[in-house]
Structure 1
Amino acid sequence: MNARTYLVTGAASGIGKATAELLNSRGHRVIGADLTGTDINADLSTVVGRETLVKQATELSGGVLDAVIAVAGLSHPIPVTASVNYYGAIATLEGLRPLLTRSAAPRAVVVDSMASLQSYDEELVQLFLTGTEAQAVARCAELVESPATGHQIYSSSKRALARWLRTTATTPEWAGAGIPLNAIAPGVVLTPMTKELVATSEGRAKLNEQVPMPLNGPFDPIVAARLLVWLADGENSHLCGQVIFVDGGYDAVLRGDSTW
């Protein structure tokens, strides 16, 4: 297999780190981006950080990327989560798209979440899709005022990102240019915080009640990384605009046969 050049955001930890390590182990070149500790240090919650990512990625890649894997994201119930999860992800994909057009087999993947199926704020979703970033952040500040709505910042950002992807992937700029654009929506990923929760039978029972994942339950980051790597490989020729739930069955439990 020929070596390819990948740009991975969120590469310092979690799914992003596992993805970068997997690609490296297969002989590919990885340009990592995160707040610190990678090839490109950039804060994707800011316009300056997004511009830095594109500028340095262009320089480090020589102007050509074979794939972009946008993993960076936050789950905290704070306004900056909106800036990273939605605007940062789209700025990454749109900003680096010109570098993908110079590849013989360009691919792009973004990490969404199963939370896109959970309760969300419709006003915030609409502001993501049709308003300005300032308006969306202002709405987030309102949601933070109540513990009952603050958590909807994360789910709303992921829902809006999925809707953006579904309408964007088939456009001339992406599918028309031969660039498959897709997403994965992970279930509960085992992090230091969640590993403590599932360490006891009580914790596992509580988590299973809140987030039923009948097939093997929560998983390590490498599970998501394997799917990301395949989607970003040249072997993936026809998946377009798909949000693939790697969630142990949570989507199927929640939505049943509603997809038909």
Structure 2
Amino acid sequence: MGVYVVTGSASGMGASVAARLTDDGHEVIGVDLADAAVIADLSTVEGRRGAVDALTERIDGPLHGAVFAAGIGPRRGRERMLAEVNCLGVVELATALRPRLAAARNAKVVVFGSNSSTATPLVPRAAIRRLLDGDAEAAARILRRRPGALSGPAAYAASKIAVARWARRQAVTEAWAGAGIRMNVISPGPVMTPLLQGQLANPRSPVRSFPVPIRESGRPDQLAEWVMTMLSPAADFMVGSVVTVDGGTEALLRPNDWPSRLPGRLLPRMAWTMWRAPSRGQVADYS
């Protein structure tokens, strides 16, 4: 049996994942604002540092996996909080826990993204860049310039784009894949959690008109099943992938955007990577 960290473990999808892991006999260290082994507010620098300190104190051996499910939904006026929780709450905790994950030699990490990252228009690129630089306040300033009700959805999408890009960039590096850590992203659509219920209670919420071809919301237990697969040996050959589970929304809005061809401008980078990879042990020898 293994040791797993689950953020957002007190409700919604995080709670379903934590319950599944516990039922399977694993030790789960939950992180949440309340009703968790580690009580922490991931919207502040101090809260994230406190979470890291508490987790490193509790984990005295290898960490076999981590699921970063903590998140808050879009609302105008909390652009910085969205950036802090949804992006930095993953990046800073995952980075701090990486040595413990590496010690397990075959750890799995699941980062919760969102299909909003590919289904939300008018998300400012500059805000995403600032988030990837770790500057939540600069990102929030840019996002507050979005007109009217657009700032909330744009901030939410920016936080999820940034965290997915961070995960994909890091997942393939020597520090992560080279250490045997398999990190991937799951991108749900509307899942009937307390967060979504609160959004649906607002008659002006854009979520109410979000197109879902299957005409039903997802359930936390369904997403937990996907996460369990991504934590299992079935994911041993899965690194840096984004799995979209959204009832068809992304395919409806972007049917021709995937697969897309590799841009020609990337060929020099690809050639350089392939040339230097064998000497670093990054490419298997199939001879």
Q: Which residue of 1 aligns with 2:94?
A: 93
Q: Which residue of 2 aligns with 1:21?
A: 19
Is 1:31 paired with 2:29?
A: yes
Q: Which moved more, 1:102-111 or 1:66-75?
A: 102-111
TM-score under structure 2 length normalisation = 0.80
> How far apart are the structure 2 equivalents of 1:237 and 1:193?
32
Residue 130 of structure 1 and its aligned partner are, at CA, apart by: 3.6
Secondary structure at the aligned position of 1:225 is classed as: helix
Check conservation: 1:107, 1:234, Cα contact below 8 A: no
> How far apart are the structure 1 equivalents of 2:132 and 2:11?
29
Secondary structure at the aligned position of 1:102 is classed as: helix
Change (3 A) 1:211 1:141: closer
Change (3 A) 1:133 1:195: closer
The percentage of counterpart residues that share the same residue type is 34
> How far apart are the structure 2 equivalents of 1:198 and 1:73?
17
AA at the equivalent of 1:167: R
> How far apart are the structure 2 equivalents of 1:195 and 1:45?
22
Q: Which residue of 1 aligns with 2:60?
A: 62
Change (3 A) 1:251 1:56: same
AA at the equivalent of 1:31: I
Would you identify which runs of 4 or more consecutive aligned residues in structure 1 move more than 3 Å? 140-143, 192-199
Is 1:169 paired with 2:167?
A: no
Q: Which residue of 2 aligns with 1:255?
A: 254
Total equivalences in the alignment? 249
Q: Which residue of 2 aligns with 1:124?
A: 127
AA at the equivalent of 1:129: L
Residue 23 of structure 1 and its aligned partner are, at CA, apart by: 0.8
TM-score under structure 1 length normalisation = 0.88
Q: CA RMSD in A?
A: 2.2
Is 1:108 paired with 2:109?
A: yes
> How far apart are the structure 2 equivalents of 1:133 and 1:198?
27
Q: Which moved more, 1:72-81 or 1:14-23?
A: 72-81
Residue 196 of structure 1 and its aligned partner are, at CA, apart by: 8.9
Q: Which moved more, 1:216-225 or 1:132-141?
A: 132-141
> How far apart are the structure 2 equivalents of 1:149 and 1:196?
18
AA at the equivalent of 1:107: K
> How far apart are the structure 1 equivalents of 2:95 and 2:11?
23
Residue 56 of structure 1 and its aligned partner are, at CA, apart by: 1.3
| CA deviation string 1:203-245 (max 9, x = no partner) | xxx94xx333334621111111111122122441011111100
> How far apart are the structure 1 equivalents of 2:7 and 2:109?
12
| CA deviation string 1:67-100 (max 9, x = no partner) | 0100111113212111111111111211111110
Secondary structure at the aligned position of 1:166 is classed as: helix
Residue 151 of structure 1 and its aligned partner are, at CA, apart by: 2.2
| CA deviation string 1:9-47 (max 9, x = no partner) | 000110101110111111111000011110001111122
Change (3 A) 1:253 1:62: same
Change (3 A) 1:193 1:176: closer
AA at the equivalent of 2:216: G
Unaligned ranges ≥5, structure 1? 200-205
Secondary structure at the aligned position of 1:100 is classed as: helix
| CA deviation string 1:167-207 (max 9, x = no partner) | 221111111111111010001111357569989xxxxxx94
